[in-house]
Amino acid sequence: MIVILGSVDVRPDALEPALRLALEHCARSRGERGCVSHDCFQAVGRPHLLQFVEVWSDMAALREHFALAASKAFAKDIGAFAASPPTMRILHAEELG
């Protein structure tokens, strides 16, 4: 299982369009092969910080996701709303118990 933890600190003036873009991206991604879950959250103490949590069945599915034109466009577009560069951690996870 592959887990992605991502975040983007959005400029205050860009919060609403960034939220719309994030929700569209999550909904589209959930329909892709190998997507177990794909969600975006606003940090409680920092509402301009959007955090992404994704779970993919395997690396092949994640590579397919990254290769899609829509995924590339999302990365470019969300970056345009950012106050600082977005971050992303890709983790190989094993479920325990």
Alpha-carbon span 37 to 57, nearest angstrom: 10
User: Which residue in 49, 57, 51 sits closest to 39, CA to CA?
Assistant: 51
Residue 46 lies in a domain: yes
Alpha-carbon span 15 to 13, nearest angstrom: 6
Residue 97 lies in a domain: no
Q: What is the number of structural domains in the chain? A: 1
pLDDT (mean) for 26-45: 97
Q: Are 22 and 40 in contact (CB under 8 A)?
A: yes
pLDDT (mean) for 39-44: 95
CATH of the domain at 59: 3.30.70.100
Residue 29 lies in a domain: yes
**Could you tell me the pLDDT band of residue 67, with boundaries at 50, 70 and 90?**
very high
Give pLDDT, residue 4. Answer: 98
Residue 63 lies in a domain: yes
Q: What is the radius of gyration, based on Cα positions, of the chain? A: 13
Mean pLDDT, rounded, of the chain: 96
CA 84 to chain centre: 16
Residue-range definition of the domain harbouring residue 56: 2-92
